[in-house]
């Protein structure tokens, strides 16, 4: 289990280094996940140690929502005061995401 955890931390550290020195506009954890995806794609399978760590983390994924819930409760008056702006931003961002996803799918889909 420790070996898998160390491997995941290495990919995160590599992503942070890459973000710091080469691609500062992309967050380090995102680059680390891309590097991990490339590694797993080249390898063809997930190592058992990483699988065990990933399964353990997924079992307790619900705990990661507790800080977000506390933040919502803590800032509820502020969220209520800006509800229209927040709602508009959410609707626009969802529509933009759907449009960009459709465009990328259209560009990458094989032509008949």
| 28-70 tens-digit pLDDT | 999 999 999 999 999 999 989 999 998 988 898 888 888 889 9
The per-residue pLDDT for range 7-27, each reduced to its tens digit, is: 999 999 999 999 999 988 999
Q: What angle do CA 21, 23, 26 make, to 5 degrees?
A: 125
- Looking at residue 84, its pLDDT comes to 97
Q: Where does residue 44 fall: left (phi above 0), alpha (psi -120 to 50 degrees), or beta otherwise?
A: left
Nearest C-alpha neighbor of 47 from the set 90, 87, 11, 83: 11
Residue 69 CA to residue 47 CA, distance in Å, equals 34
pTM of the model: 0.60
């Amino acid at each position: 289990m420790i070996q898998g955890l160390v491997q995941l931390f290495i990919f995160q550290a590599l992503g942070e280094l890459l973000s710091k020195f080469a691609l500062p506009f992309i967050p380090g954890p995102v680059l680390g996940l891309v590097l991990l995806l490339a590694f797993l794609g080249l390898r063809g399978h997930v190592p058992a140690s990483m699988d065990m760590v990933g399964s353990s983390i997924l079992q307790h994924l619900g705990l990661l929502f507790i800080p977000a819930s506390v933040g919502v409760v803590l800032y509820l008056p502020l969220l209520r005061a800006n509800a229209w702006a927040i709602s508009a931003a959410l609707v626009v961002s969802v529509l933009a995401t759907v449009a960009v996803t459709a465009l990328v799918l259209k560009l990458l889909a094989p032509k008949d």
